[in-house]
Amino acid sequence: MSDHTSIHNHENVVQPHAEHRDWLLCHDCGELQKVVSISSDNEMVCYKCNAILHSGQARRLELAAALAVTAMILFVLSNTLPFITLEVAGQSQTATILDGFFALVERNQWILAGMVVTTIFLFPLVEIFSFLYLLIPYTYNRRLPGHTIILRWLIRAQNWSMLEIFMLSVVVASVKLADMAIVHLEVGAYAFFALVGVLLLAYVKLNRRRLWNWINTNNYFSAFENEYVYDCRTCRAMVGESIVDNSHVCPRCGSDIHRRIPKSLQKTTALVAASVVLYVPANILPIMTYSTLGEVYSDTIFSGVIELLKEGLWGVAVVVFVASIVVPITKLVILIYLIWSVKTGLRRGARHRAVLYRLTELIGRWSMVDVFVVTLLVSLVQFGFIYTVEPEGALIAFGAVVILTMVAAETFDPRLIWDMLDE
Ligand SMILES: [Zn+2]
Ligand SMILES: [Zn+2]
């Protein structure tokens, strides 16, 4: 059952019968359960694997709409107003959020520039627009074209929008700079901090199940009575196996749907292998060079942490150590363990492995902290002979490790963990 069976039988297309049922299929283990109503401070969790199925916090879509409007205003303010000012020896340098991106473009660091602009500008912008396009019409009960595609996109882009991580990087960079320069956070930075808070709250209030139900009430598609159903990873519709095998497309939202993610193990293994290879240069090569008064120093990820400790900046040292060293290693070890456990058919500890899987999904993005810190330093610390910072080779290798391990976690199908137990 763990293998994905592909029946490409297009002459024999089954006609799905659509209806609404108050059921949910667990994302992580595939168990079918009845939805119960819960109070606002409760969560409905899967009885088999403890995954959160839905949260009572998320009941006020109207509030989410108001938050999205606020977020849009704050987004414009934080990207147009000055963000941070640095003063060194009477000279001062002011940067906006996107100056880090421009600094990388000037140095022909296209891939890094792409990573930065996507995660701190494009995806957040798409995210806020999607919120507005979905939630304002929802408030007035008006259906607009493209709602299905937009909500599908919003759910997919969520992990790749990294404003809160950039916020942490601003704090780290400011503390790092504080002993050599005077750092002022400008209006743009305060607008940005508020934006992060507002967006987080908007997500807490976003009831995806209700939104999908509003777009299309039908969430149960089957061709035969009592056939086995599979869960759509995007809209949580339950789709009968004959439809899954015939069309591979969710009738409700148009996402790909499979019994199991096709070639899940092979994809995850390949991505993890590539990350392990890149992990070496990411840690051996320097991540940035700084020159001051004619002398040039370079830092690797690790020596950067040591440097912070020497300066007595314990708090920031711990943050950077956890985000740049502990998280990537933990993530690689967990992914390798998950692949190994599925390959060898391990039956013990499935619940633990489900927790580990969710952990990798949750923590992976935070490793981007160091990438953003260096980007910020490069855009800010340009004082000619007195002090300059330049990005180095390890930065791109490290960024690639973060992104590859994030994709690796996305390609891993957690239901594989439970397949051994069902046999
Ligand atoms: Zn479950
Ligand atoms: Zn769907």
Domain locations in the chain?
15-57+217-247, 61-215, 261-423
Write the burial class of residue 56 (CB in 10 Å: 0-12 exposed, 13-18 middle, 19+ buried). Answer: middle
Say which ligand is closest to the CA of 24: 1
Per-residue tens of pLDDT for the chain, all 423 residues: 334 444 444 445 557 788 898 888 888 888 888 888 777 777 888 888 888 887 766 557 888 889 999 999 999 999 999 999 988 888 888 989 999 899 999 999 899 999 999 999 999 999 999 999 999 998 888 889 999 999 998 888 888 889 999 999 999 999 988 878 899 999 999 999 999 999 999 888 888 888 898 899 999 999 888 889 999 989 989 999 999 999 999 999 999 999 999 999 999 999 999 999 999 999 999 999 988 888 899 999 999 999 999 988 999 999 999 999 999 999 999 999 999 999 998 888 889 999 999 999 889 899 999 999 999 999 888 887 788 899 999 999 999 999 999 999 999 999 999 887 766
The per-residue pLDDT for 8 is 45
- State the Cα–Cα distance between residues 397 and 403, nearest whole angstrom: 10
pTM of the full structure: 0.87
Cα–Cα distances in angstroms (integers) from residue 374 to residues 115, 124, 172, 405, in the given order: 13, 21, 10, 20
Closest CA to 422 of 53, 49, 15: 49
Tell me, what's the pLDDT at 204?
82
pLDDT value of position 13:
56
Q: How far is 29 from 17, CA to CA, in rounded Å? A: 25
Ligand of minimum distance to the alpha carbon of 208 = 2
Distance 408 CA to ligand 1 centre (A): 21
Ligand nearest the Cα atom of residue 230: 2
Which residues lie closer than 8 Å to 356 by C-beta, 6 or more apart?
334, 337, 338
State the distance from the centre of ligand 1 to the C-alpha of 325, rounded, in angstroms.
31
Report pLDDT for 9. 45
For residues 152 and 253, the answer to whether their CB atoms sit within 8 Å is yes
pLDDT at site 116: 92
Question: Which of the ligands is closest to the CA of residue 254?
Answer: 2
- Distance from the CA of 53 to the center of ligand 1, in angstroms? 8
Res 57: pLDDT: 62
CATH class, 261-423 region = mainly alpha
| Ligand located closest to 215 CA | 2
Task: Give ion ligand 1 contacts, CB < 5 A.
Answer: 26, 28-29, 31, 46, 48-49, 51
Ligand 1 centre to CA of 188 (Å) is 42
Rounded to the nearest angstrom, the distance between the alpha carbon of 242 and the centre of ligand 2 is 15
Query: Do 61 and 155 form a contact (C-beta atoms < 8 A)?
Result: no
Of 103, 200, 109, 210, whose CA–CA distance to 161 is shortest?
A: 200
CA of 137 to the centre of ligand 2 (A): 21
C-alpha of residue 354 to centroid of ligand 1, in Å = 9
Cα-to-centroid distance, 39 and ligand 1 (Å): 21
The Å distance, Cα 58 to ligand 1 centre, comes to 20
